[in-house]
Amino acid sequence: MKLIIQIPCYNEAETLEIALNDLPKKIDGIDKIEYMIINDGSTDDTVKVAAAWGVNHIVSFTRNKGLAKAFMAGIEAGLSYGADIIVNTDADNQYCGEDIEKLVKPILEGRADIVIGERPIDDTPHFSWLKKKLQHFGSWVVRKASKTGIPDAPSGFRAFSREAAMHINVVNEYTYTLETIVQAGRNKMAITSVPIRTNPELRKSRLFGSMGGYVKRSMLTILRALLMYRSLAVLSILGSIPFLIGFGIGINFLTYYFKHQASGHIQSLILACTLMIIGFVTIVIGMLGDVLSANRKLIEDVQYHVRKLTYDESDAEVWKEAGSLKIPECISREDSDYADDE
Ligand code: UDP
Ligand code: MG
């Protein structure tokens, strides 16, 4: 059982060593622990610090691409290095390294595929009142969208089984945290949460420069995830509001019409029609979104199988032996069939 601990890093030369020193060297049930950093285009000595410390793997971007891309690069690299479990943590020593043991336990016991570390948000002194409320609100929306019971959705302290890592994909450019949970819930993966401890703040958040920016980005991320995974439900609710108002105004107009008092009320007829059309089109867009999400599911399935074939050599071997992977032979057989027909 091999565990790879990955740390996305953007200019973390100052705190990385502290975070690395905090990581566990041994965990019951794990045969080997490897350490990996994803250098997200750092311009400081992050890579030097990591190499001097002796991390096993360094994945490097030549420019800053954002946490979501760095996280996914780590997942892909972890799979290729043969990880059975991948744990993600922060380079600012935000999360308590000792608690990685708690994170991997449900996976080792076969109870979960994804484990999210639940931070003690309300007891974190450096989180402002607004940030605490927003984190709770974000988690609540993610729980609704994903139909899971995850209490701390924006937490970056997580463990993934190899199987779960094969399924992950992130479209959002900014953060992977919310989308991966919605996806896991939708794909009926076994996702759970364990309480973990955090350390005092060593530096300000790199992701959330200002509270205004944080609110805007979180809202957009959640809205996007909702539209992507629950488009029909969301747009049906949004569309039914103007539709029903328009319908009510239309009924009102009809009562005047049948009482032969319609003249002077044409404006309400126009308003009723406009609102009903807006509502109807919104619901139809929701239906289109639903059809697109079915397509996305198929693409996700293909991506999963490509990853399996790419990263699980043993799987590819089994397939070959079972005769399921005979694409070139099939083609040549068909060619010869045609030749026979001629
Ligand atoms: N990070 C990254 N690329 C970025 C921004 C951040 O790889 O463009 C890394 C950063 O080095 C850290 C992790 O993502 O290890 C989380 O960032 P941060 O701690 O600032 O976010 P927070 O914990 O406040 O959400
Ligand atoms: Mg952090």
User: Considering the domain boundaries, does residue 327 fall inside one?
Assistant: no
Nearest to 185 by CA among 143, 219, 141, 233: 143
User: Do 194 and 68 share a structural domain?
Assistant: yes
Which ligand 1 atom sits nearest the alpha carbon of residue 91? 15
Strands 85-88 and 158-161: antiparallel
State the distance from the centre of ligand 1 to the C-alpha of 55, rounded, in angstroms: 19
Does the pLDDT of residue 325 top 50, yes or no? no
Would you say residue 29 has pLDDT above 80? yes
Instruction: Indicate whether 338 belongs to any domain.
Output: no
Considering the domain architecture, whether residues 187 and 140 belong to the same structural domain is answered as: yes
Which atom of ligand 1 is closest in space to residue 66's alpha carbon?
Answer: 8
Q: Given this model, what pLDDT does residue 207 score?
A: 76
Residues with Cβ within 6 A of ligand 1? 7-10, 12, 40, 64, 66-67, 70, 90-92, 94, 156, 205-208
CA distances from 322 to 301, 307, 315, 318, 326 (A): 21, 19, 10, 6, 10
| Shared domain check, 165 and 270 | no
For the stretch 207-211, contacts whose Cβ atoms lie closer than 8 Å and that sit 24 or more positions apart, written own/partner, are 207/67, 207/174, 207/175, 208/131, 211/128, 211/130, 211/131
Final residue before a domain boundary, out of 227, 255, 285:
227
Cα dihedral 180, 67, 293, 187 in deg (nearest 10)? -20
Q: H/E element holding 35?
A: strand 32-40
Structure-block tokens of residue 19:
């975070």
6 shares a domain with 120: yes
Q: Tokens standing for 304?
A: 């999963």
User: Containing domain of residue 168, as a range?
Assistant: 2-227
Coil, helix or strand for 113?
coil
Is 236 in the same domain as 290?
yes
Structural domains counted in the chain: 2
Answer yes or no: is 322 within a domain: no
Q: For residue 324, tell me if it sits in a domain.
A: no
Neighbours of 61 (CB within 10 A): 17
* Residue where a domain stops, chosen among 169, 202, 227: 227
Q: Are residues 221 and 235 in the same domain?
A: no
Q: Are residues 61 and 176 in the same domain?
A: yes
Asked if residue 342 belongs to a domain, the reply is no
User: Between 17 and 141, where is the model more confident?
Assistant: 17
Q: What phi and psi, each to the nearest 5 degrees, are found at residue 338?
A: -60, -40
Final residue of a domain: which of 172, 201, 227?
Answer: 227
Question: Which range is most confident: 131-140, 225-234, 297-306?
Answer: 297-306
How far apart CA 25 and CA 101 sit, in angstroms, is 11
Tokens of 250: 């239309």
Tell whether 219 is covered by a domain: yes
Tell me what percent of the residues of the chain surpass a pLDDT of 70.
91
The CATH number linked to 90 is 3.90.550.10
Residue 39: strand pairing partners: 9, 60
Q: How far apart are CA 194 and CA 103, in angstroms?
A: 7
287 part of a folded domain: yes
Residue 178 backbone phi and psi in degrees, to 5: -75, -45
Ligand 1: which of 173, 202, 206 to mutate, most ligand atoms within 8 Å of CB?
206
- Ordered alpha helix ranges (H), the chain: 16-22, 46-53, 67-80, 100-108, 129-146, 162-167, 177-186, 211-229, 231-258, 266-311, 313-322, 327-341
Q: Which of 139-153, 256-270, 273-287, 299-313 has the highest mean pLDDT?
A: 273-287
User: In this structure, are 144 and 242 located in the same domain?
Assistant: no
Strands 32-40 and 2-9, by their bridges, are parallel
Buried b (16+ CB within 10 A) or exposed e, 5-28: bbbbbbbbbebbbebbeebbeebe
Supply the residue whose CA is at minimum distance from atom 24 of ligand 1: 205
Nearest CA to ligand 1 atom 5: 67
Residues 208 and 267 both lie in one domain: no
Per mean pLDDT, which range of 22-26, 71-75, 226-230 is the poorest?
A: 226-230
Q: Are residues 149 and 136 in the same domain?
A: yes
| Same structural domain, 56 and 154 | yes
Q: How far is the CA of 237 from the centre of ligand 1 (A)?
A: 35
In a domain, residue 316? The reply is no
198 DSSP β-pair partners? 95
75 pLDDT higher than 90: yes
Regarding whether 197 and 181 lie in a shared domain, the answer is yes
Q: Is the pLDDT of residue 177 over 60?
A: yes
Query: In this structure, which ligand is nearest to the CA of 38?
Result: 1
